[in-house]
Amino acid sequence: MTNLFLLQLLNGMQFGILLFLIAAGLTLVFGIMDFVNLAHGVIYMIGAYLAVTFAQMTGSYGLGLLLTLPATLLIGLLLELLVFRKLYDRPHLDQVLATFGLVMVLTEAVEIIWGAAPLSVRMPDLLSGSVPLVGPMRYPVFRLVVIGAGLVTAAGLWLVITRTRIGMRLRAGATNRAMVSALGVDIRKLFTIIFAFGAMLAGFAGAMVAPILTVDPGMGESVLILAFVVIVIGGIGSVKGAFAGALLVGLVDTLGRSFGPIILRAVMEPSAAAQAGRVLAPMLVYILMAAILAARPAGLFGART
């Protein structure tokens, strides 16, 4: 039981880090540019599709992943130029709607280009095994790689934002746009860079999960809401918050799923516990979010409302 608990703890963390990879780009764009981008999930999906295509072309997942990064960066630039640039000064509602429209356009485009059938990419043999953990339990190597990638991304973002000149400008731009542009910083160019970088992060997340998750036209939508839950719980714009929120969501979801019914069984009869567990498990993450927002309306690490 303790072993299982530890393993589930690890699983919860890993799921959380997966969510962080997806949410990182979202919270960056959201926090610094105050821009709600529902199309983030779609860019993540496109990243996964591109990784599949590039991997097929080059015959190597690693090369595919590397090619995906500049490709999604480019897509981000293009979208920023065509659509997002016009929306920065608009209310959130306009942003939500325009990007909701983009979700429809891009999802359908993906279906036209790649078809509706799920695709997948073969993971490198080197990373495809599993390592023994305790007793008969094993842990897939690639999962460890995902955890590593998530931690490196988190550390990298933290360094860039707190320790570099561009990070300083970003923080300043988020606090007071007018002041920063008055000081001679080209805020538009800055925003373009952040946006493209955010898209690349989404593409990176998509390419990273392609070997473990199905690549299909619904994959963007299935994580989008969770990613939003993560950044809202953490407090919008805070990378630290997104990290904490992602881990919290991952742990609550995983542990709740596997231990919720066991705990419920202690307080009610088994059949009722099973029933209640089934009803509660999918709602757990949303209950968590509602509870956190009820107590702290701006999320755990959020300053602005």
Residues 149-208 close enough to bind another protein by CB under 8 A: none
Under rule CB under 8 A, which residues in 218-257 are in contact with another protein? 218-219, 221-223, 225, 228-229, 232, 236, 254, 257
- Sites for another protein among residues 15-34 (CB under 8 A): 15, 18, 30
Query: How many residues interact with another protein (rule CB under 8 A)?
Result: 87
Estimate to the nearest angstrom the gap between the alpha carbon of 179 and the chain centroid. Answer: 31
- Does position 118 bind another protein by CB under 8 A? yes
Q: Any residues with CB less than 8 A from the CB of 24 and at least 6 apart, and which?
A: 153, 154, 157, 201, 205, 239, 242
Q: Taking CB under 8 A as the rule, does residue 270 contact another protein?
A: no
Give whichever of 62 and 100 is closer to another protein, judged by the CB atom.
100
- Binding residues for another protein restricted to 36-95, rule: CB under 8 A: 36, 83, 86-87, 90, 92-94
Q: Of these, 71, 103, 201, 239, which contacts another protein (CB under 8 A)?
A: 103
* Whole-Å CA distances, 83 to 59, 77, 93, 101: 34, 10, 15, 11
User: What x-and-dash track marks residues 205-224 binding another protein by CB under 8 A?
Assistant: ------xxxxxxxxx-xxx-
- Of positions 122, 169, 171, 265, contacts another protein by CB under 8 A: 122
Question: Are 82 and 98 spatial neighbours (Cβ–Cβ below 8 Å)?
Answer: no
Q: Which of 57, 59, 126, 128 binds another protein (CB under 8 A)?
A: 128
* CA–CA distance, 116 with 208 (Å, rounded to integer): 21
Return the percent helix, strand and coil in the chain, to nearest 5.
Answer: 80, 5, 20
The residue within the footprint of another protein, chosen from 43, 48, 102, 247 (CB under 8 A), is: 102
**Minimum Å distance from CB 204 to another protein?**
17
Please say which residue, 73 or 106, places its beta carbon nearer to another protein. Answer: 106
Residue 26: alpha-carbon gap to chain centroid: 7
CB closer to another protein, 17 vs 200: 17
CB of 70 to another protein, least distance (A): 25
Tally Cβ neighbours within 10 Å of residue 183: 11
The secondary element (H helix, E strand) that includes residue 131 is strand 130-132
Token pair 């999906």: residue: 45
| Tokens 């992943």, residue located | 65
How far is it, in rounded angstroms, from Cα 229 to Cα 239?
A: 14
Decide whether 73 or 227 has the Cβ nearer to another protein. 227
Among 8, 56, 60, 181, binds another protein (CB under 8 A): 8
Q: Does 262 bind another protein (CB under 8 A)?
A: no
Task: Please say whether the beta carbons of 75 and 199 come within 8 A.
Answer: yes
Residue matched to tokens 């918050």: 241
